[in-house]
Structures are given as structure tokens and as C-alpha cells.
Structure 1
Amino acid sequence: MKKLSNFFYNRTNGYLVLGFLALQFIFSGLILPYFQKQFDPELNRGLMDLSFGFTPENGYNIIESYGEKGREVYLFVESFIDILYPIAYTTSSILLLSFLFKKNGFTKYPLLNLLPLIGMVFDMLENFGIIQMLKAFPEKVDFWAKFASNSGLLKWGFFGITLTITLISLIMWGFNALRKK
């Protein structure tokens, strides 16, 4: 893992960070909303992926509300698009943390820049659980709903930790830049 951490520390730069942040915004601002409109045209049914936990009943109500065609699209999104998106945002987060840690002299904590990988693992597990729910539908398998929900909660927890560390590092970088003036 230390080699992977060093790989990102050694290769990160502002252009790479901006490029991956742009890719992340393309996914979250264009690609995902496009597909969401295919199974939730009014954008009011909700997404289990964006929920901070859900009960099996709520999860299956959401799935049922999409209709047969919507469930097919959602299955495609969960099986393909929402596999690529976590890779993009995780890479973006690792590069950003690596960049900020380098700027702040925090490279002595070599594995901390890889923290987003843990969140990505739980995001993938959440997706796997939702895929199992979709495949089993109309059967309702509470195990997969709870698995997806709990994985999602852990994903959001690690996202919050990553976001907090990123914001602190960004603020420190700003203060250091002002102090040098």
C-alpha cells in the first residue's frame, strides 16, 4: 500500500487534480443525472445510493416506483456507470489529498492519502447490494437491502472523514500561502 501511496504523491500535480475533478463533475453533473431521468423523470423518487441509510421497505418502494423499464436502466447504471464513477471520484480524491499533503508537508503520513479507497470499497459493496435487490425483484430480500444500506452508511462515513481532512488541508494550504506573503 505504501508503494501505491507514494505513486500518487510522486505523480500528483495541479493539472492532474483539476483534470480528475473535471471528470468527477462530468459524472455527477451530466452522466448520472441523464440516467437518473430515465428511471426517475421527475427526480422525486430518490436514489438509494444518495440516501443516508434506508430500510428494506423504503428501498423496495423506491425500486418498485421506477417501473420495469426504470429498473432495467437502474440496473445498468448500478452495474456499469456506478462502478466507473467511484473509481473517478476516488482517484480525484486521492490526487487532491496527495497534492494538498505535499503542499502542506504531510507526506510523512504516507497512507492517509489512500483513505478514499476505503469509502470506494463500501460504495462498491453498496452497489453490489442494490444490484442483488434489483435482480431479485419482485422478491424482497431484506438481507441485500440491509447490506446495501449499511454499506452506504459506511461509504458516507468515510466520505465525511475524507471531506473533513480535505477541507482542513485546503485551509492550511491557504493559511501557509498567506503567511509566506
Structure 2
Amino acid sequence: MKQILNTLLKSPVIVLLVILTNSVYLYMLIKTIPEVQAFADQMPLLDMKPKGYDQAYVIELFTKLGEEGRSQYRTKQIPVDMIYPGLFAICYAALMAFLLQGLNLLKGAWRLLILFPIIAGICDYVENFGILRLLDQFPDLSSDTVTWTQYASIGKSAASTVSFILLMILVMINSIRWLREKRSHTYEEPPRKSASDLG
């Protein structure tokens, strides 16, 4: 486990994870989500509702999608979105740990900050399973399923937002520290020559 963590905290690995994670996210934004939304006159999918939704919204969306649209939701969007949460959790938890390590803060309570991307990933998985369950139930939706699925959507959005805010703060602090260190080295006085050196 320690060896895996050490590998993840290397900058080339983190760069690769960031590229891979955002490539999958862009693929969903550009390809799978618009293709599914096209069946519902661009009505936002449940994945894209950060403030949640109620049973009436789910019924309206699934009705507009039609049988083919619901099938596309199940077979095209959800499978890709089953890959993304894991990548998100690993990528941004590793990036946050890397930035904390750069500030010598990867210890004590500070380490708990890396839980936010992990919580976001878990909520995303719960949301996905909830959507699959709702697709199975339609048109006889369970209000309980709608409730915990929308709570998962809200939790995903909240944890993701906190994660990105924390990452931006950590990047800024690391950047300021790096610039200060570089400036101090630049203006560092050259060592004075001793009398023996002059002789």
C-alpha cells in the first residue's frame, strides 16, 4: 500500500491521471451526454442536476427520452460514468496529497482533506446505481429511490465543489511559496571572499 501511495505521489503519474480523468470527463460532455439529451430536447440529465430533482422531474425526463433515449442513457452514458468516479477520486486525492506534501502538511488532520474527492467519487457511484434503478422502475418510480439518488447527486456536487476549491487554494499557496523561494535564491548575496582567497 505504501509503495502504491509513493508511486501516486510522483508528479508524472499525477499529470497522467489528470489527463486521463479529464479526457473521460470531456468525452462525456462532448459525446455521451449530448447524445442522450438530444432525445429529451436537451433537458438536463440527472447527472447534470447539482441541486437535485424531484420525482416529477425524473418522470418528465424519462418520458421525453422515450424508450430509445432511456436505453442510450443506460448503455452509453452510465457505463462511461462508471469509469469516471474512480478516476476522479484517485486523481484528485493524489493531487491534493501531492500539494499538501509540498507544504509539509501531509500529516495529522490535514490528511482528511483528501477525503473530499473520494466522497465525491462514492456519491457519483451511488448516483449511477440510483439512476439505473430508476430506469428499471420507470414508469412506476419509487419515491425512496428518487430521494436517495438525488441526495447522492447533491453530495457529489458539494464534495466536488469543495475539492476544486481546496485544490485551487493549495495550488495558489504552493505557487506563492515557490515564487518566494525562487526570489530569495535570486537575490541571495554571493559569499564573501576570505583574506586567504584575496592573497
TM-score tier, shorter chain, comes to 0.7 to 0.9
Q: 3-state SS of the aligned residue for 1:66?
A: helix
CA contact (8 A) 1:100 1:170 kept: yes
Deviations for 1:54-105, whole angstroms, at most 9, x for unmatched residues?
1111122112211111101111246422111111111111121111111121
* 1:141 equivalenced with 2:142 (yes/no): yes
Amino acid at match of 2:63: E
TM-score normalised by structure 2 residue count? 0.80
Q: How does 1:7-46 map to 2 (within 5 A)?
A: 7-8=4-5, 11-41=8-38, 44-46=42-44
Amino acid at match of 1:163: F
The equivalent of 1:97 in structure 2 is: 96
Q: How does 1:76-91 map to 2 (within 5 A)?
A: 76-77=75-76, 79-91=78-90
TM-score normalised by structure 1 residue count? 0.88
The equivalent of 1:175 in structure 2 is: 176
Structure 1 stretch 146-155 or stretch 102-111: which is displaced more? 102-111
CA RMSD of aligned residues (A): 2.1
Structure 1 stretch 34-43 or stretch 145-154: which is displaced more? 34-43
For residues 31 and 164 of structure 1, the distance between their equivalents in structure 2, rounded to whole angstroms, comes to 23
Greater RCO, CA 8 A, separation 6+: 1
The equivalent of 1:123 in structure 2 is: 124
Higher radius of gyration, 1 or 2: 2
- Identity, in percent, stands at 20
